[in-house]
Amino acid sequence: MSETPSAEPWQWSEPHWRQLVDQVRAGRRYRPQRWKGDARCAVALSFDSDHETNELREGGKSIGRMSWGQYGNRVGVPRIEALLDRHGVKATFYVPAVVALLYPDEQRRLVAGGHEIGIHGWIHELNSILPGEAERDLMLRSADALETITGVRPVGLRTPSWDFSPNTLAIEKEMGLAYDSSLMADEDCYELLLHGEPTGIVELPVEWVRDDAVYFMMHRFQSLRPYTPPTDVLDVFRRELDAAYDEGGLFQLTMHPHIIGYRSRIWILEEIVRHAKAKGDVWFATHAEIAAYAKAEG
């Protein structure tokens, strides 16, 4: 930063707030006329397999929350896999390295099934407040761990915080990642700009509105409760899908094995898959495939 910021934002100089805004920006939009196979709409399903890191990242004292994490591996992922297989759909799983080390077979099975494994931090650390060197080191080690376990080098990242530190994008560039899926400046894919310069990295944008945890997360010692009825969560997801289809755009969804996996929620995913398939000309693909296609054709 070019100056010491004043205590209050309303006292900041224009160069200061412009600099804050311009760190990372959305550049040109990647929106193909048609999607692969002449599809009208692309569907990108993703699952953040946080499992025990949900608790470990906060200090790891709760055995109860750790058991909830194990549920993700023991029940959540298998149930999701079976559903995707039943419908012949490929998806992307973002996996913290610690989860991959705890459950290497889970990751190998997913890769064998044609799914993508993406980077999701080391232990689901809040990357946006890490010292620069630590963030870089953890990101490199995370990619290595995933590659060692699955035999495939990951090409995309979803940051654990769904946020960037001032260093994140530069690290992604250094690592040669093809895409990121953590920001939300658009509903279409776009190119990420670093301090105004094109990076060649595609952003495949997420949004809280299309995230199961937003509606269903439970944390006993915080005020988070699963207050929204499942039928209404389906309604939100379906409206997002229908409008993406009408526009010929992209429908991206984020879920979590330990959240969507429950018996009273997994049907939401099935309904979305069925609803999309019923349209006839929808392309289900991994985030990596969609990002590559959008960049090449958009």
Closer of 116 and 187 to a copy of itself (Cβ): 187
Residue with tokens 């429908």: 251
Rounded to whole angstroms, how far apart are CA atoms 221 and 141? Answer: 32
Return the number of the residue (9 or 132) whose C-beta is nearest a copy of itself: 9
State phi, psi for 116 to the nearest 5 degrees: -100, 140
Quick one: tokens of 272?
A: 């979305």
How far apart are CB 151 and a copy of itself at their closest, in Å? Answer: 21
With respect to a copy of itself, which residue has the nearer C-beta, 37 or 264? 264
Q: How far is the CB of 255 from a copy of itself (least distance, A)?
A: 15
Q: What angle do CA 204, 91, 66 make, to 5 degrees?
A: 100
How far is Cα 228 from Cα 29, in angstroms, rounded to an integer?
A: 33
The distance of Cα 8 from the centroid of its chain, to the nearest Å, equals 33
Instruction: Report the nearest approach of a copy of itself to the CB of residue 45 (Å).
Output: 17
Shortest spacing between CB 253 and a copy of itself, in angstroms: 12
**Nearest distance in Å: CB 31, a copy of itself:** 12
For 42-80, the DSSP string reads: EEEEEEE--TTHHHHTTTS--HHHHHHHHHIIIIIHHHH
Nearer to a copy of itself, 90 or 186 (CB): 186
Q: Looking at beta carbons only, is 6 or 151 nearer to a copy of itself?
A: 6
